Copies of this chain bind each other. A is one copy, B any other.
């Protein structure tokens, strides 16, 4: 497996959904950054299950322990070890489907690759691992904030309901984490309807980054957009990604799509803040397609380990729409990429 991400600011995660716990080693954090356990916990609280009716009923307090790398509430430059114990690991629901492949899940592909698999709650392929990303990302976010860089993601689509506006301050005020309060309830209703039908719904997130300096990213192969794309598609539920006007650019003329410059800066931001793989000082704008949660309690056709046709109903405790909990994950991965890009950029000067 490849359980690490980043070049200088580097994380290595471990843990399964129903094992002893999950954790992450965050290496490359410069010394001298003030860091409290609460800085990390508050981000984990945004991601943790059981926040509302719309998220899985698994009740994990997700209390993080800082094992190393922080002395007197300050980073020392040493790797920061973070541990989150699993508490509410009811694996009984998984016994019945140990030999079945859940549609839309990694069960079949993991079985073929690794021959052996911890089937309980998806094991290593569980979304639970994203808590480690959020914990590590919290450190990166704190560092970015010191430089005036803000990352904000929100749900902009749930099934067929689209946000029409973006109000930063509204995102945490509704359970779906949309920046458009006018559609929050309608979005929530789509989720509840899916729940009632033992089904799930997909959506789209947008992520915005403000305050970036010009020149972050390492062309040609570690362009800032390439690294962000790597990060986004490393999240299990992501199906598509665009920067700026994305697929809309495909339908435009060059004269319509280019961002002109005037008064020392850019007159528009169709490119979404990245030019030639480097940040251009404008906000980064990403849109991220989130698929409907594959775990549904409706009967679906599948096969078992021996290749026989079977029917499966995934009971467990699952999010009918993962969008609100994906918001902090997208933010965290963005923060990890940006912290790494800033550190790498320092190597440009002799």
On whether the beta carbons of A71 and B116 are closer than 8 Å, the reply is yes
Q: Is the interface of A mostly helix, strand, loop or mixed?
A: mixed
Known: A123-B76, A215-B112, A254-B294. A1 touches B28 (CB 8 A): yes
On whether the beta carbons of A101 and B221 are closer than 8 Å, the reply is no
On whether the beta carbons of A277 and B106 are closer than 8 Å, the reply is yes
Residues of A102-139 at the interface with B, using a CB-CB cut-off of 8 Å, are 103-110, 112-118, 123-125, 129
The interface on chain A, measured as residues whose beta carbon lies within 8 A of the other chain's beta carbons, has a size of 150
Kindly state the separation between the CA atoms of A107 and B280 in the bound complex, as whole angstroms.
10
- Provide the residues of chain B in CB contact with A62, threshold 8 Å: none
On whether the beta carbons of A233 and B239 are closer than 8 Å, the reply is no
- Provide the residues of chain B in CB contact with A219, threshold 8 Å: 1-3, 106, 124-125
Most B Cβ at <10 Å: residue of A218, A290, A309: A218
Stretch at the interface among A48-56, A180-188, A298-306: A298-306
On whether the beta carbons of A242 and B240 are closer than 8 Å, the reply is yes
Kindly state the separation between the CA atoms of A199 and B180 in the bound complex, as whole angstroms.
37
Task: Identify which of B10, B74, B234 contacts A116 (C-beta below 8 A).
Answer: B74
Q: How far is the CB of A144 from chain B (nearest CB, A)?
A: 10
Q: List 7 A-B contacts (CB under 8 A).
A: A23-B23, A31-B115, A77-B348, A159-B253, A239-B271, A258-B294, A343-B347
